[in-house]
Structure 1
Amino acid sequence: MELKITATSGTLESSDIQIILEPSDGGIEIELESTVKAQFGEQIEKVIKNTLRSMDVRDAKVTANDKGAIDPVIVSRVQTAVYRSAQNTNYKWV
């Protein structure tokens, strides 16, 4: 899926994650800030990358501000940001 515009999803509330997704030409780049980065940073980045790949997004700049979100929340926030960025209204939730 081709990203067209900058899009956001999520909040800065506890147990949530805010995703800012921007079009890019340099693969997937993730900038992560998290209250639990030392313990779960690698897992959060893995979930973000796997979700993007499952949606056929190969190039994206991701800014993630995590406040303790669990994996399903991360997946849903990334999916929402991708659909918004691609300006796609044909939702196929996985």
Structure 2
Amino acid sequence: GYYPARVALAEGKLPDTPNDLGRIREIIDLIQRGYLERILLSHDIGMKVMLVSYGGWGYAHLLREVVPLMQLYGITDDEIGAMMIDNPRRLLSMR
């Protein structure tokens, strides 16, 4: 399968970079359009300023902040599990 959609979760500090809520809305739209099985959730720490010790959100941001916000906006635990566990497992097992 092909994973055409990419919605990056970031700190949203650039002028035209959506914040997490904007991206969650995009994810909800993708789910409603039937793309749940093609959505992967992840994040990275690409610069040291992203680490908590330098004032960034750190490695736990996705689980600590984004997932509860997704739940608040109606994304179910099963849908979150699909995006964070099932879909990556399926993608990484492709040959």
Whether these two folds match at TM > 0.5 is no
Q: Which has the higher strand share?
A: 1
TM-score by length of 1: 0.30
TM-score by length of 2: 0.30
> Which structure exhibits the higher relative contact order, with contacts defined as CA atoms closer than 8 Å and separated by 6 or more residues?
1
